[in-house]
Amino acid sequence: MSTHRPHVGVLALQGDVREHARVLSGLGAEVSLVRRPVELAAVDGLVVPGGESSVIDKLSRAFGMREPVRDAIAAGMPVYGTCAGMILLADRITDGIEGQQTFGGLDVTVRRNAFGSQVDSFETDLAVPALGAEPVHAVFIRAPLVEEAGPGVERLAQLDDGRIVAVRQGSLLATAFHPEVSGEHRFHRLFLETVQRA
């Protein structure tokens, strides 16, 4: 693996931006907050954080970011989406608000508030073989869920009932939960490895 320090951006329109920046910096990445196309053009990978997917969608259009992000994904830029970020990377959403759009790229159908409201947030341990034998402690906060995944999508983690909560397709990675708030850094490390390979 190259020793080049990856330069990654966190889409800083809304959501838990600082938490992702802190984890990525701690793993040795150079981190920029991305709000404009010129800032996106300067990074090698992008994190789309958790937050409110419909708000991030609206702001991405207001800031002229929707098409540049879509173009970057189409060109193969590594992108990691958590929670709302997973919704924004999905090609299809089943319960979006009227007019809600996504960046797309992941051949999945995602249900936005699959687990209900904030009071239905929960934590659990997940087996994620791609990250090693130790389970991942996952925090779900008004989390989405992958309802359908296309043939090219790798299912990285599922709940006990088989519902899919982490996926990878090419250089795109998405989790329905928030590793950045639970002290779990292996997904971010996996993302940075993808950035370095790209």
Spell out the residues 6+ positions from residue 36 whose beta carbon is closer than 8 angstroms to its own.
63, 64, 65
Taking 70 as the threshold, does the pLDDT of residue 3 lie above it? no
pLDDT at 117: 63
Single out the catalytic residue among 7, 39, 52, 83. Answer: 83
Identified catalytic residue from 180, 185, 188, 193: 180
Q: State yes or no: is 185 an active-site residue.
A: no
- 91, 108 in Cβ contact below 8 A? yes
Q: Where does the pLDDT of residue 120 fall: very low under 50, low under 70, confident under 90, or very high at 90 and above?
A: low
DSSP 3-state assignment of 193? helix
Is 188 annotated in the active site? Answer: no
| Amino acid residing at 108 | V
Cβ atoms of 166 and 9 within 8 Å: the answer is no
As a whole-number percent, the residues of the chain with pLDDT over 70 amount to 96
Catalytic residue selected from 178, 184, 188, 193: 178
Alpha carbons 133 and 129: distance in angstroms, whole number: 6
Cβ contacts of 76 within 8 Å, gap of 6 or more: 170, 171, 198
- Residue 179 contacts by C-beta under 8 Å, 6 or more apart in sequence? 23, 82, 136, 138, 185, 186, 187, 188
pLDDT class for 1, splitting at 50, 70, 90?
Answer: very low
Average of per-residue pLDDT across 68-87:
97
pTM of the full structure: 0.95
- The pLDDT value recorded for residue 121 is 80
Domains of the chain: 7-197 (3.40.50.880)
Active-site residue, 193 included: no
- Asked if pLDDT for residue 56 goes beyond 80, the answer is yes
